[in-house]
Amino acid sequence: MPVDPAQRHQIEQDAITAAWEAERLAACNDAIALLREIADLERDDDGDVIFGADANGHIDLLLRITAFLAEHDQ
């Protein structure tokens, strides 16, 4: 039995919504993982996070956070 155009359109919209929600959920999971890493970092006596840098002064975690935000900025 053929699907009428209105039903086809609704099915397409539902598929788009499901894909968008799956993408958002994956992004939330990635953000939570980054936040957990921050929470586990060493802290100084005042409770401030101590970020370690490589020989070139790059901070891997901050670079990953920046890349994450750039990728998910909508």
- φ, ψ of residue 71 in degrees (nearest 5): -70, -35
Write the pLDDT tens digit of every residue in 8-67: 999 999 999 999 999 989 988 988 888 888 878 788 888 887 777 778 878 888 888 888
> Residue 19 has what pLDDT?
95
Q: Which residue has the higher pLDDT, 8 or 2?
A: 8
pLDDT at 74 over 70: no
> Residue 35 has what pLDDT?
84
> Residue 48 has what pLDDT?
83
Q: Cα 3 from chain centroid?
A: 37
Query: From the CA atom positions of the chain, what is the Rg in Å?
Result: 21
| Tokens encoding 49 | 């996070």
> Residue 43 has what pLDDT?
82
Domain boundaries, the chain: 5-72
